[in-house]
Amino acid sequence: MNIKDLRNGMKRVEVEAQVTEKGNPRQVMSRFKDETYTVADAVVADETGSIKLTLWNEQIDQVNVNDRIKIENGYVTSFKGEIQLNVGKYGKLTIL
């Protein structure tokens, strides 16, 4: 699937893309449990466009700028009016 075809609410998304940016990790509190998670935003792009990718915990150290990655069983959400690609706990992120 091409990045330009991604829409808010899509599920079971499979995308291959290159990491063009990676932000600094930050700590967030769970809304449901008394736990803290580490999260970072990255930008991934293919020949059709780019999208923000949310990285959680160990995914942050796996991914570097210029890596080619594959997301399987991902999903798309909208946060503050911007669509984002998410791996989620049932998805898979692979470095190609």
pLDDT in tens, the chain (96 residues): 999 999 999 999 999 999 999 999 999 988 888 889 999 999 999 999 999 999 999 999 999 999 999 999 999 999 889 999 999 889 999 999
**Residue 13: domain span:** 3-95
What is the rounded (10 degree) CA torsion for 67, 68, 72, 74?
Answer: 60
What is the full DSSP assignment across 19-47?
Answer: EEEE---EEEE-SSSS-EEEEEEEEEEET
What is the rounded (10 degree) CA torsion for 14, 16, 21, 22?
Answer: 50
pLDDT for residue 74: 97
pLDDT for residue 33: 81
Q: Considering the entire predicted model, what is its pTM?
A: 0.90
Tell me the sheet residues that pair with 37: 28
Query: In this structure, what CATH number is given to the domain that contains residue 67?
Result: 2.40.50.140
pLDDT for residue 54: 94
pLDDT for residue 31: 82
What's the CA gap between 9 and 31, in Å, rounded?
21
Q: How many structural domains compose the chain?
A: 1
